[in-house]
Chains A and B, each alone.
Chain A
Amino acid sequence: MMHEVAIIGIGQTPVAEHWGSSLRDLAAVAARAALDDAAISAVNALYVGNAFAATISGQSQIGALIADHAGLGGIEAWTVDAADASGGAALRAGYLAVASGAVDNVMVLGVEKSTDMVASARVRARSVSLDADYEAIQGATVTAQAALLMQRYMHEYGVPLSAFEGFSINAHRNAGKNPNAMYRNQIKPGAFARAPMVASPVSLFDGAPDGDGAAAVILARADRAADMVPQPVRIAGSAVATDTLAIHDRKELLRLSAVMRSTEAACARARILPSDVDLFEMHDSYTILSTLALEAIGLAPYGQGWMLSSDGRIGGDAQIAISTFGGLKARGNPVGATGVYQAVEATLQLRGTAGDLQIAGAQRALIQNIGGMASTVVTHVLTV
């Protein structure tokens, strides 16, 4: 017998180059904000999503470190790693812990501090999510993986580079109204296809920027949450699916099978279809990943996912709003914290407290956090 689980508290820091704040300070700020929001002072356990503390900050065991620094010392605390999907995977761990009855409540905290390392050193640090023996050894990078998918997609379907620009334009439009976003500038139509290449055809205006930040949510049993806070948000579905690390090992390169399986499982648990949601916080680290995810989820036919970026069906007033706070592309990608930012942003939408970015009448949200090129895919359905 699984218990239903609800989000009862949220906290976040702005996503930025936080050169003046340490990993532990960022985490403590988000943790305290979430505790204040839930109006509680302690939790039973802390699960941390993080990808690079050991490699970039030279620090492991940040579960214990953050528990101590956030004033939660002594509780069960550990780190979950699934590259960019670490935050989502930590949310899954927290969900299972509460659903099982093992704990009454838990804090799920994502934190990343990756901008202390710059240029080729950070590219190398980021490349650990690839298959080390068969991809990274060849000098492949995360962006190169995305580029390989995009080049093949453009070739197979005869799609021009400019077709993908809508995803970036939408993300920056929304981030312009998000005070926590890393890039609030707008991208003008046409600028996308002229931007400098990082790994062709992926350009500077295509890939999401790495940022530092921390976000936290507090989970509790849903049957008790209603007595604790005025607006609990229910986690109606939760699922993780995996695929090969090396993209060359996949039977069908352009079909993200883990996205399909993870979404199906989360939506089946929530008894909804993906098309039933009001908003989708997607893992838009690259426009090709957005394109392929929309196709794998079934919101677009194969070969047509990019059209959702160009025909006005995404954005604030669309049927399904996407990247409502700017997504990874413009809010910024605080790697291992990203999945928790998505949960915080969807909770703001479902509470009706998203301010200028509010999606009117939002009741169901899909959030999806992806590690590698969809090697780990974590999907949650949130409802009110």
Chain B
Amino acid sequence: MPDSVRHDVQIPGERFAFAGTGEIYTYTIVQEAPEGYDDQAPYVVALVKLDEGPMITAQITDLDDQPLEIGDRVEMVTRKLTTEGKRGVIIYGYKFRKILHREP
């Protein structure tokens, strides 16, 4: 095989586990949602600055009527993002919620 052929398609790098906590860097309340998400609207999409540094785009869930502000602390949870096709296959993924107050 010529050297140009790559059998290993893994992107080089190390696996890294994030703590799953961070803070709201900016957010928006989406009123006009795309197909597949319109039954969830209005919903909050935010840029979350993770404690380790990187930023990600994620929905903020479980808010009920609580207000959200830039700087609020949030933690990652696993939630249904959308469904796909007529059979409604569920796509799961990460969302974030305000950090719950736990008993010490």
Contact = CB atoms under 8 A, between A and B. Distances in A.
Contacts of A152: 25-26, 47, 70
A103 interface: no
A13 interface: no
B9 interface: no
A137 B29 contact: no
B8 interface: no
Interface of A: 120-121, 123-124, 126-127, 134-141, 143-144, 147-149, 151-152, 155, 196-202, 246-249, 253
Nearest to A197: B31
B56 to A, nearest CB: 6
A151 B70 contact: yes
A148 B32 contact: no
Contact of B32 (A123, A137, A149, A247): A123
Contacts of A200: 28-29, 31
Given A139-B37, A152-B25, 4 more contacts: A137-B81, A140-B57, A152-B47, A248-B56
A335 B35 CA distance: 20
Chain A, interface SS category: helix
B30 interface: yes
B21 interface: no
B26, B27, B34, B54 — most chain A CB neighbours (10 Å):
B34
B34 A141 contact: yes
A313 B81 CA distance: 45
B91 A198 contact: no
Given A151-B70, A199-B28, A199-B29, A120 B35 contact: yes
Given A124-B34, A138-B57, A155 B26 contact: yes
Contacts of A124: 34-36
Q: Which of A143, A151, A202 has the most B CB atoms < 10 Å from its CB?
A: A151
A323 to B, nearest CB: 23
State which size class the interface on B falls in. Answer: 20 to 34
Interface in B71-104: 81-82, 91, 93, 95
Given A134-B56, A248-B57, A139 B35 contact: no
Nearest to A121: B35
Contacts of A199: 28-32, 45
12 contacts: A120-B37, A123-B33, A134-B57, A137-B82, A139-B37, A139-B82, A143-B30, A148-B27, A198-B32, A200-B31, A248-B54, A248-B56
A138 B28 CA distance: 13
Nearest to A254: B26
Nearest to B58: A138
Given A120-B34, A124-B35, A246-B57, A139 B27 contact: no
Contacts of A144: 28, 30, 45
A198 B56 contact: no
A123 B35 CA distance: 7
Highest count of chain B CB atoms <10 Å: which of A148, A149, A196, A202: A148
Interface string B9-31: 00000000000000001111111
Contacts of A202: 28
B89 to A, nearest CB: 14
Contacts of A155: 26, 70
B82 to A, nearest CB: 7
A127 B82 CA distance: 15
B62 interface: no
Nearest to B29: A200
A148 B37 contact: no
**Looking at A121, A137, A139, A147, which has the most chain B CB atoms within 10 Å of its CB?**
A139
A132 to B, nearest CB: 12
A124 B32 CA distance: 10
B97 to A, nearest CB: 14
B33 to A, nearest CB: 6
